[in-house]
Amino acid sequence: MKVTRKAIYDAVQRYDLQSVLDECREELLDAAEGALHTLVRDGHASSVFFLLRTQGRDRGYNERIESTGLNGGPIAIQQIDMPPRAATIDEWIQNKNRLEALMDE
């Protein structure tokens, strides 16, 4: 006999079985953690990476890049109008110096 997921959730609501469902989920999580520990101890690379990414953040295993501006403030964004393309080496040097000066501001 096939029972739909909706029928199960309806029965959980009707017979106030949410605590039973929660306990079953906790047991399943315990089993998954046990399996993960076994895989990590056996050197299973993707399991090791997963554990480090999720549980090793305070040790520097983090894929998220956090960037801030000066003293933790917002990142300053400056718009620079590019000069026209230089026709001579002297114009190129002038443009380069002008852009460097703008970047130093």
For 44-68, write each residue's pLDDT tens digit. Answer: 999 999 999 999 988 888 877 778 8
Confidence of residue 82 (pLDDT cuts 50, 70, 90): confident
Count the Cβ atoms, other than its own, within 10 Å of residue 94. Answer: 13
The predicted model gives 5-30 an average pLDDT of 96
From residue 27, give the alpha-carbon distance in Å to each of 32, 49, 62, 77.
Answer: 9, 24, 28, 50
Q: Which residue has the higher pLDDT, 19 or 105?
A: 19
Tell me how many helices (H) and strands (E) the chain has.
4, 0
Q: Kindly report the pTM of this predicted structure.
A: 0.53
Q: Please check the confidence at residue 99 and state whether its pLDDT lies above 90.
A: no
